[in-house]
Amino acid sequence: MGKKIVLLVAVMFAASVMGIVCHPTAAVAAPIELNYANFPPAPTFPCVQMERWKEEVEKRTQGAVVIKTFPGGTLLKAKAMMDGVVAGQADIGCLCMAYQPGRFMLTNATSLPLGIPSSQVGSLALWDLYKKYKPEAFAKVKVLTMFTTAPANIMSKVPAQTLEQIKGLDLRASGGAAQILKAWGANQVGMPMSATPEALQKGVVQGLFSSLEVMKDLKFAEICKHVTMTDTVIYPFAVVMNMESWKKLPPKVQKVMEELGEEQAKWTGIYMDNHAKDAVAWSKEKHKVDFYQLADEELAKWNLLLAPITEKWMADAKKKGLPAKAIVDDIKAFTKKHATP
């Protein structure tokens, strides 16, 4: 009898050490379910990174967490993302900070024309910037990761290869990049990416200024037969979680998500850079898109027009009490750090 009890205790002890919960109700404990909202269609890169993050979290928590994803603005739309997550309409949301320049002023400094060369470098520099300054704009949420697009280029139905051709052309961009189009003389039309396919179809705009992966993911190569390579600026994104939902998570799950922060930024950067290259090759081959490389002197002329944008951001940031110069210097230093192999 005594031996049996000892054996039972030993088995229970071993099981609990191995993490097997013996309590009958705990053994069938339902996984924690989290909703993750995203604004653009499923094939686009913000949604691809969302699915990758979901898979990693589910795998690394051994199924203790299940994430339900909502692409295409089905749960929250682009500009409602932050407030929707704060209010708990979604546990997690992915937002493009560039769409709200004033609200995310500090992190949007990464979309100034400062020469960020790729999505990988941009994503890691942005993550460093966030960690260093912990901007007030994110005080009510848990930031899970951040990343950026690859540099933006002009995709258009008609050639936009000279400043004369761009003058007055209806081109779509949002946030920081909008000022760039204005500086080049375009008639800048602002809207989120999710509204762009229809605007192109209906002729509301003649083209857009963005990273090139959308040529394939949103099939813009079918309609925009001209690309002018300027490799100008990136757009920054954030993935945020409702604070209550975050606090309710077991520490082990929180650890998994925290460890994924920088890794996810890098993964997304690499995915985006490769995918943008792939989209260029696909557009040339399948849709005979003409890619036009500006001559160095011409590009220098275009870039010169952009200098006042950074100056204006610095003046505005100072007015808001931000250490404008330090932020810009840090972005340059983080860029250099991550661009150097």
Q: How far is the CB of 95 from ligand DTR (least distance, A)?
A: 10
Span near ligand DTR by CB under 6 A; candidates 113-121, 208-216, 256-264, 331-339: 208-216
Q: CA geometry: angle at 150 spanning 149 and 155, to 5°?
A: 100
Spatial distance between the Cα atoms of 172 and 196, rounded to a whole number of angstroms:
8
CA dihedral 164, 170, 173, 178 (to 10 degrees): 60
Interface with ligand DTR (CB under 6 A), residue from 214, 221, 241, 279: 214
| Residue 193 contacts ligand DTR per CB under 6 A | yes
| Residue 118 contacts ligand DTR per CB under 6 A | no
| Residue 174 contacts ligand DTR per CB under 6 A | yes
Q: How far is the CB of 44 from ligand DTR (least distance, A)?
A: 4
Per-residue tokens: 92: 């997690």
Q: How far is the CB of 247 from ligand DTR (least distance, A)?
A: 30
* Closer to ligand DTR by Cβ: residue 61 or 174: 174
Interface with ligand DTR (CB under 6 A), residue from 36, 37, 46, 239: 46
How many residues of this chain interact with ligand DTR, rule: CB under 6 A? Answer: 13
CB < 8 Å & 24+ apart, contacts of 283-288: 283/212, 283/215, 283/216, 283/221, 283/227, 286/221, 287/221, 287/222, 287/225, 288/225
Span near ligand DTR by CB under 6 A; candidates 65-73, 209-217, 257-265, 284-292: 209-217
Q: Which residues contact 16 (CB under 8 A, 6 or more apart)?
A: 22
| Residue 50 contacts ligand DTR per CB under 6 A | no
Per-residue tokens: 244: 């209550």
Going by DSSP bridges, is the β-strand pair 65-70/32-37 parallel, antiparallel, or unpaired?
parallel
Per-residue tokens: 227: 């690309």
E strand or H helix at 257, and its extent? Answer: helix 251-287
Q: How far is the CB of 99 from ligand DTR (least distance, A)?
A: 7
Spatial distance between the Cα atoms of 85 and 177, rounded to a whole number of angstroms:
25
* Closer to ligand DTR by Cβ: residue 44 or 108: 44
Between residue 26 and residue 45, which ones bind ligand DTR under the rule CB under 6 A?
40, 44-45
Are 171 and 203 spatial neighbours (Cβ–Cβ below 8 Å)?
no
Positions of E strands within the chain: 32-37, 65-70, 92-96, 141-148, 153-156, 170-172, 187-189, 207-210, 226-229, 236-242, 290-293
Between residue 66 and residue 105, which ones bind ligand DTR under the rule CB under 6 A?
96
Q: How far is the CB of 40 from ligand DTR (least distance, A)?
A: 4
The contact pattern for ligand DTR, residues 220-249, with x = CB under 6 A and - = no contact, is ---------------x--------------
Q: How far is the CB of 178 from ligand DTR (least distance, A)?
A: 10
Interface with ligand DTR (CB under 6 A), residue from 35, 110, 149, 228: 149
Q: What are residue 70's DSSP bridge partners?
A: 37
Residues forming contacts to ligand DTR in the complex (CB under 6 A) are 40, 44-46, 96, 149, 152, 174, 193, 210-211, 214, 235
